[in-house]
Amino acid sequence: MISNECPVWNYSNKFPDDTALIKGELGISYKDLSNRIDAAVLSLKGKGVKPGMKVGIISENSIQYIILIFALLRMGSLAVPINFRFRYPEIEEIISGIGIDLMISGIFTTELASSVIKNFDPEDVDTDKISDSRYRETEFIAKGGTIILTSGSTGVPKGVLISAENHFFSAAGSNLNIDLKTGDKWLLTLPLYHVGGMAILFRAFLAGATISLPYGKGKSICEEIEDGCITHVSMVSTQLVEYVSCLEGLNKTVPLVLKVILAGGSYIPEALILRALSLNVPVYKTYGLTEMSSQVTTTDKKVSRKSLSTSGSLLKYRDLLIGTGNEILVRGKTLSRGYIFEGKFIPIKTDEDGWFNTGDIGNIGESGDLFLSGRKDNMFISGGENVFPEEIESELLKIDNIVEAVIVSIEDEKYGNRPVAFISTGGKKISRNEIVKSLKIRLPGFKVPDRFYYLDSINGQVKRRRPFLRELAKLGKGLKLISD
């Protein structure tokens, strides 16, 4: 049963001395964390924060950040975590578009101070002054929430309004599928402005587990997991590549204490899963989306060679249906309330039966597991045939020396659209003939890209996103072509 009360406060009443947060040598008990949240509530009230306010936060993951989020939730406010890598013009656009009432940021202090919006540093929030009577909001899940930013079709960020109740049910369903208990440590590898990072907080606090924050720069992910005696980790594809490469490069084995690596956030290539399996990495695949407060399906045991393609089965408190054109439809207690865009609340669009169109394409196997094909908006038609970039990317990653691959489509007079590939080899040489020969063994000719460019020459992860690369491919300038 889901409690209405703050999970930190609730668990602190039962087991006050259990460890809630840890970073390096610093450990914070559930009682101490709950008291710090109480103090933050009082401090935020003194700074003018009120229920219903949209409060932006710009910060790297930290203990103070977690305290701020739960203090805002207890107050019935809406926490708006913002990517700390955004430039100030982007921050201005978000403040205006979301209608943020107040900012907590130590990064753009000068710029924000000159704007009409009030701003203060996260460290200015007092988390030490405890009131005589503990602050507690009994209807916690009915009032507070988060607004998680996601890119709209125009590139202008829009906010997905996720209630505390949505987060609760998302975590509760996840915890019924993957064992998580007191004493377990979940490494906070995902940023809190990502729904996957926020989900870690709720899963751990509902289970009474410990959230471990990375110690700091200079430590590899292998060292973070091994030195921290980590039992659970969430990773997107690029992080899993980093971890597997780290194990391979250092000739390390997976720590026995590590039970789960929850891999999701985007398409996970089978070639990467095979590399992980060869090292006995306990990968659990998951499919989810921000509008569903993170996970929708997840495997109930670590992936094997026989289950490479599955994204697992449906978690509790969610429903899933395969609709027209094999589009995945979802609904349930984790479905978000809607969007905040251009200063307005837009209720989430569903059909008369409450189904939300995800834009993802897939099918349900005989075992009841979900099998993803790709994004509906990524699919293109070449010579009358449907082409999913993810399929080609998966085959490219099976070729020796290719460690990253992105497929985009460009217009073609004869075929309508043709695939173009951007690949990374980690500095190793590869020829076009070698790539084409390998692909033609496993793919029909219309799926073999016309051109191959080196991805390594393009700096920055943001600039490697599909829309940006599509524009580069159209121009064909400033790119390093892979030749014979």
Question: What percent of the chain clears pLDDT 70, i.e. is strictly above it?
Answer: 92
pLDDT of residue 323: 95
Do 440 and 467 sit in the same domain of this protein? yes
Name the nearest CA neighbour of 473 among 395, 432, 419: 419
Do 332 and 451 sit in the same domain of this protein? no
The pLDDT of 276-281, averaged and rounded, is: 94
Last residue of some domain: 322, 346, 372?
Answer: 372
The pLDDT of 452-460, averaged and rounded, is: 76
pLDDT of residue 11: 94
Domains in the chain, number:
2
Owning domain of residue 429: 380-475
The predicted-structure confidence for 5-53, as pLDDT tens digits, reads as follows 889 999 999 999 999 999 988 999 999 999 999 999 999 999 999 999 9
Name the nearest CA neighbour of 291 among 233, 338, 351, 236: 338
pLDDT of residue 132: 47
Angle at 56 between CA 50 and CA 57, to 5 degrees: 115
Do 252 and 366 sit in the same domain of this protein? yes
Do 358 and 435 sit in the same domain of this protein? no
Last residue of some domain: 314, 340, 372?
Answer: 372
> What gap in Å lies between CA 222 and CA 259, rounded to an integer?
14
Looking only at the bridges linking them, the beta strands covering 283-289 and 145-151 are: unpaired
Assign 153 a pLDDT band (cuts: 50, 70, 90): very low
155 pLDDT exceeds 60? no
Query: In this structure, which amino acid lies at residue 59?
Result: S
pLDDT of residue 39: 92
Do 449 and 330 sit in the same domain of this protein? no
Q: Is residue 1 part of a domain?
A: no
DSSP 310: B
Do 302 and 427 sit in the same domain of this protein? no
Assign 306 a pLDDT band (cuts: 50, 70, 90): confident
The predicted-structure confidence for 90-135, as pLDDT tens digits, reads as follows 888 899 889 999 999 988 766 776 666 788 899 999 888 665 445 5
337 pLDDT exceeds 70? yes
> What gap in Å lies between CA 119 and CA 105, rounded to an integer?
7
> What gap in Å lies between CA 134 and CA 136, rounded to an integer?
6
DSSP states of 129-175: ---SS----TTHHHH-EEEEEEE-TTS-EEEEEEEHHHHHHHHHHHH
Are 307 and 273 in contact by the 8 Å Cβ rule? The answer is no
| CATH code of 232's domain | 3.40.50.12780
Last residue of some domain: 347, 372, 397?
Answer: 372
pTM summary value: 0.84
Do 250 and 301 sit in the same domain of this protein? yes
| CATH code of 409's domain | 3.30.300.30
Do 156 and 123 sit in the same domain of this protein? yes
Q: What value does the mean pLDDT of the chain take? A: 88
For residue 315, give Cα distances in angstroms to 1, 178, 273, 370: 15, 10, 22, 11
